[in-house]
Structure 1
Amino acid sequence: MSNETTTADGGVRKKGKLGQRIAYACGNLGQAAFYNAMSTYFIVYVTGCLFSGVDKALAAKLIGVITSLVVIIRIAEIFIDPLLGNLIDNTNTKWGRFRPWQFFGGLISAVLLAVIFSGMFGLVNVNTTLFIVLFVITFVVLDVFYSLRDISYWGMIPALSSDSHERSTYTALGSFTGSIGYNGITVVVIPIVSYFTWTLTGAKGEGQAGWTSFGIIVGLLGILTAWTVAFGTKESTNALRAKAQKNGNPLEAFKALFQNDQLLWVALSYLLYAIANVATTGVLLFLFKFVLDNQAAYSMTGVIALVSGLIMAPLYPILNKRIPRRVLYIVGMTSMIVAYILLGLFSTNMTVVFIALVLFYIPGTLIQMTAILSLTDSIEYGQLKNGKRNEAVTLSVRPMLDKIGGALSNGITGFIAVAAGMTGNATAADMTPSNIHTFEICAFYVPLILIVLSLLVFMFKVKIDEKMHAKIVKELEAKLASGEIVDDEAQTAETVEAIDEEAKTLTE
């Protein structure tokens, strides 16, 4: 008996079993925790602990080297993500297209995460040159396998359903658990590191033993949740996917991305948001430690973010039934703009900071889910426009954008730590007005500009929405059934122009 039914808009909706939905949702719990550990706390570990045993001047140089290498590596790997997406798109096994990469990507990236949080098993204190060489190799391999896991995870959404609302349900599930994983790490990182430092060494603070334990814990969580997806889900088959199994070579994959104008505009808007978001969250610990002089209160940041995600993720599909996701995106960005203004003007006022953080974190789910769904719906837009269906390649764009944001976050965090003297054993008493002003510019004012630009791009350039996508799916299914669109055949220039004109009409 079939597990699929046809929806009113002509799409295919999977009668998802509860177990499969739970399994899929679990995947982003460990994945988001992993990402936060890498994009935020690895650099905190580097600046505060990794080189604590060497001369302060040499430590500052080594911190600069590591943070620069991380930025360079992650930006270089950005261009690899579409190739990884193409690899996934062309995977053909009896376990499906995506599940093998959940298994192997989750395992290898988790093991290597624990290795880098161990200081390469203490090599940093023995031979710094060899440490840096092995670190680069390890970090590159880690990032590649994490990307394979991340791309294959989000790439499963169009494999589960072609219906826009059904996709929002799966996206909401992933975002819900992702919020727990990402923000839960913020809540527990300092307690975990401090506890294991004390338990294993008898010393107070955040030492190497604590950070190594933290890396192992996040790695184990990563393996468990990735394997839950690998063994607990099964992708469906529908007409759109059945006629689009040959996904071409990497050059064709890149061509498909650059020909999909809606994908590119959504990507630009999300990139500006991602850079601003991680640039701020990456240094919030510094705000509490060096500006507010209350590091213990930092855990409340994670609580605010966690509660916001737990509330907004399940609410998104409900709100989206009544409110177009375009409106949700604009409202969310407006809330973030207000938050940045408050943080910039009142960074030394604890009460106002917490109010601003509520305004900062609540809309995050609205913005991220709208961007993910818009990217997902651009798959059919690209298939109709170019005659090729690239699922994982298209959805590799979001992890690629997150990598850019994460890389810049690493660089910003490292820069601020060194420039403002926020390294090693420095305290709030060591901060000067100039140090704090430098922090405010990088953490709040520059990201504010990026958020405004992101909003403008989305408002004036992103056309694809729920109604447009439903119409595209109907037209695509009809043309595939009639043979007007063949898998390896792009449409004529006249047809492309007609689709573009139709998109303009639908958004007016």
Structure 2
Amino acid sequence: MPLVLFFSLNSNSGNGDGRGWFGFAATVAIIAAVTSIGVGIFTHEKKNELRNNTESTSFGKVLGVLVKNDQLMAIALTYVLYTTGIQIMNSFQLYYFTYIMGKAPTYTIYALINGLIGVITVSLFPGLAKKFSRRRVFFYSILVMLIGLVLFALAGHSLPMVILGGAIFMLPQPLIFLVVLMIITDSVEYGQLKLGHRDEGLTLSVRPLLDKFGGAVAGGVVGMTATAAGMISGATADQITAHGTSIFKLIMFAVPAILILLGTFVFSRKVKLDEKMHAQIVDELEKTWHQHLEGDDSALSETAAAETTATLSFAAPVDGKLLPLSSVSAPAFANGSMGEGIAIKPTDGQIFAPVAGTIVADFPSTRHALGIRTDNGIPFLIHVGVDTVEMQGTGFVSYVENGQHVEAGDKLMEFWSPAIKEAGHDDTVMIAFTKSDDTPNYELKFVKNEGLVDHGDEIIQIENK
């Protein structure tokens, strides 16, 4: 509103005129153009085969993923109802200040307060997510939002009450967004387990698609409602009839409330993908990760055939103390079902590539493990900690992604042992080699299986048989 009034020749009781609104729109357009061009000119990406997008994402493919992944469909339906409701409510707010209260300039104060509240709320999310489950954060947030909506609806012309109601309505919005985003991200692994392949790009494109849909619906609803209520160019608050005000308030408050409640109902009945379920899914994927390796099998076969007589040196991926894999507290590793291998009690939080190979499993939502296939076709898993999947990626940083080739000694990831221990988990790093029908026949010879090692020290020789 300050920009609108700055460019206006006639303040029009604080509403501005056509010249002012054009000046505002032109300012937005210039800022958008300049910043977009700046990103294009000054942002540089690495050019490699991994980043070549050879497959286009169509609307049909997104719908296909939604239909096949029931948990993605459930959270998508929840979110489209929710986001449409809040976007209708948020889009009406300037109209409320302009045509109900007759105090358009005060909207700037209201917007600044809500913006600050949003920043504060985001900073609170990690603590809340740690203390409460995501489902509880979602339900509590919806309850707070509905209280704010009711207060706003009853505020009338009282600026303090409008600001209070709007602030309470705004307060939980970032929390709900983050809960939805995390569930959508977790549905990648759910779909992988259910369908046998990852649809990460398609899955993550669902959320912005729904935001755009909700925004389009909100724009249409606001435009039609404002016209029906007489809130058109040149009108003032004094010219809005009681009938027009009733129509406006009904759509502004009742419709969003109904949509938000419908979204909450769908969430409570259909969304089952919580932190515990996701941890179980990732645990199952870890056990079968080698069964769904992607890549060019023909090229791999040629490479493996060319190196069948080679003895491959395998180095320690992390500094620490060597331990027998049978001694770890993770049953799947200790009993050998994950394959033969070794463990290291780390003294440092950096993981390096023990051998040249290709990343074939990266667990992007948890970042606690990496599946690697050596250049001669032997898959192995580096797993940091016991039950660390429950940390949802907290304390882990990955420097590689699926499909990337690495050389021996390249840094793969980092982890923070204090965070793992604070969460009540063991930080032991476990390395397991997997054998299956489509991997070369090989034998592990342990050069060193006890004592302290530094990353890069040879600990195993892999002999092709």
1:283 is paired with a residue whose SS is: helix
1:426 is paired with a residue whose SS is: coil
Task: Note if 1:458 corresponds to 2:267.
Answer: yes
- Of 356, 361, 369, the residue aligned with 2:170 is 361
Aligned to 1:10: none
Q: What is the deviation of 1:382?
A: 0.4
Q: What is the deviation of 1:396?
A: 1.4
Letter paired with 1:191? P
Q: Distance in 2 between matches of 1:454 and 1:427?
A: 35
Task: Note if 1:338 corresponds to 2:147.
Answer: yes
5 Å-filtered alignment, 1:21-40, equals: none
Aligned to 2:406: none
Is the 8 Å Cα contact of residues 67 and 73 (structure 2) preserved in structure 1? yes
Aligned to 1:214: 28
Deviations 1:366-418 (A, max 9, x none): 10110111111101100110012111211111111111211111111211221
Q: Distance in 1 between matches of 2:86 and 2:71?
A: 22
Aligned to 2:225: 416
Cα gap change, 1:294/1:197 in structure 2, threshold over 3 Å: closer, same or farther? closer
Q: Distance in 2 between matches of 1:338 and 1:436?
A: 22
Aligned to 2:67: 258
Normalized per residue, the structure richer in strand is 2
5 Å-filtered alignment, 1:439-454, equals: 439-454=248-263
Q: What is the deviation of 1:444?
A: 0.5
Q: Distance in 2 between matches of 1:279 and 1:487?
A: 46
Cα gap change, 1:233/1:485 in structure 2, threshold over 3 Å: closer, same or farther? closer
Aligned to 1:472: 281
Letter paired with 1:466? E
Is the 8 Å Cα contact of residues 193 and 281 (structure 2) preserved in structure 1? yes
- Of 180, 184, 197, the residue aligned with 1:371 is 180
Is the 8 Å Cα contact of residues 191 and 198 (structure 2) preserved in structure 1? yes
Q: Distance in 2 between matches of 1:246 and 1:479?
A: 27
- State the TM-score, normalizing by the size of structure 2: 0.56
Cα gap change, 1:231/1:309 in structure 2, threshold over 3 Å: closer, same or farther? farther
Larger of the two Rg values belongs to structure? 2
1:231 is paired with a residue whose SS is: coil
Aligned to 1:191: 2
Is the 8 Å Cα contact of residues 273 and 454 (structure 1) preserved in structure 2? yes
1:463 is paired with a residue whose SS is: coil
Q: Distance in 1 between matches of 2:237 and 2:114?
A: 25
Deviations 1:321-346 (A, max 9, x none): 22211111111100111122222233
- Of 64, 70, 84, the residue aligned with 1:275 is 84
Q: Distance in 1 between matches of 2:196 and 2:55?
A: 11
Aligned to 1:399: 208
Is the 8 Å Cα contact of residues 342 and 356 (structure 1) preserved in structure 2? yes
Cα gap change, 1:196/1:252 in structure 2, threshold over 3 Å: closer, same or farther? closer
Letter paired with 1:217? I
Is the 8 Å Cα contact of residues 62 and 206 (structure 2) preserved in structure 1? no
Is the 8 Å Cα contact of residues 145 and 169 (structure 2) preserved in structure 1? yes
Q: Distance in 2 between matches of 1:195 and 1:334?
A: 40
| 338-347 or 463-472, larger mean C-alpha shift | 338-347
2:71 is paired with a residue whose SS is: helix
Q: Distance in 1 between matches of 2:233 and 2:59?
A: 45
Letter paired with 2:102? D
5 Å-filtered alignment, 1:31-70, equals: none
Q: What is the deviation of 1:250?
A: 7.4
- Structure 1 vs Structure 2 CA RMSD: 3.2
Letter paired with 2:2? P
Aligned to 1:296: 105
Task: Note if 1:350 corresponds to 2:159.
Answer: yes
Cα gap change, 1:320/1:487 in structure 2, threshold over 3 Å: closer, same or farther? farther
Q: Distance in 1 between matches of 2:145 and 2:266?
A: 16
Structure 2 unaligned spans of 5+: 10-15, 297-465
- State the TM-score, normalizing by the size of structure 1: 0.52
Q: Distance in 2 between matches of 1:478 and 1:247?
A: 32
1:273 is paired with a residue whose SS is: helix
1:282 is paired with a residue whose SS is: helix
Q: What is the deviation of 1:356?
A: 0.7
Identity of aligned residues (%): 34
Q: What is the deviation of 1:279?
A: 0.4
Letter paired with 2:82? Y
Is the 8 Å Cα contact of residues 267 and 397 (structure 1) preserved in structure 2? yes
Q: Distance in 2 between matches of 1:451 and 1:347?
A: 22
Q: Distance in 2 between matches of 1:340 and 1:250?
A: 34
Task: Note if 1:319 corresponds to 2:128.
Answer: yes
Q: Distance in 1 between matches of 2:62 and 2:255?
A: 34
Deviations 1:144-189 (A, max 9, x none): xxxxxxxxxxxxxxxxxxxxxxxxxxxxxxxxxxxxxxxxxxxxxx
Aligned to 2:44: 231
Q: Distance in 2 between matches of 1:438 and 1:317?
A: 40
Letter paired with 1:382? G
Is the 8 Å Cα contact of residues 61 and 202 (structure 2) preserved in structure 1? no
Q: Distance in 2 between matches of 1:233 and 1:330?
A: 42
Q: What is the deviation of 1:224?
A: 3.9
Q: Distance in 2 between matches of 1:476 and 1:454?
A: 30
1:423 is paired with a residue whose SS is: coil
Q: Distance in 1 between matches of 2:57 and 2:39?
A: 31
Higher relative contact order (CA 8 A, sep 6+): 1
1:422 is paired with a residue whose SS is: coil
Is the 8 Å Cα contact of residues 94 and 104 (structure 2) preserved in structure 1? yes
Number of corresponding residues: 289
Task: Note if 1:433 corresponds to 2:250.
Answer: no
Q: Distance in 1 between matches of 2:58 and 2:240?
A: 54
Is the 8 Å Cα contact of residues 279 and 443 (structure 1) preserved in structure 2? yes
Deviations 1:268-296 (A, max 9, x none): 11111111101011111110011011111
Aligned to 1:159: none
Letter paired with 2:177? Q
- Of 280, 289, 306, the residue aligned with 2:115 is 306
Is the 8 Å Cα contact of residues 256 and 386 (structure 1) preserved in structure 2? no
Is the 8 Å Cα contact of residues 77 and 266 (structure 2) preserved in structure 1? yes
Q: Distance in 1 between matches of 2:115 and 2:85?
A: 19
Cα gap change, 1:313/1:480 in structure 2, threshold over 3 Å: closer, same or farther? same
5 Å-filtered alignment, 1:89-238, equals: 190-196=1-7, 205=17, 206-224=20-38, 230-231=43-44
Deviations 1:465-502 (A, max 9, x none): 22221221221132122x168799xxxxxxxxxxxxxx
Cα gap change, 1:410/1:227 in structure 2, threshold over 3 Å: closer, same or farther? farther
Aligned to 1:380: 189
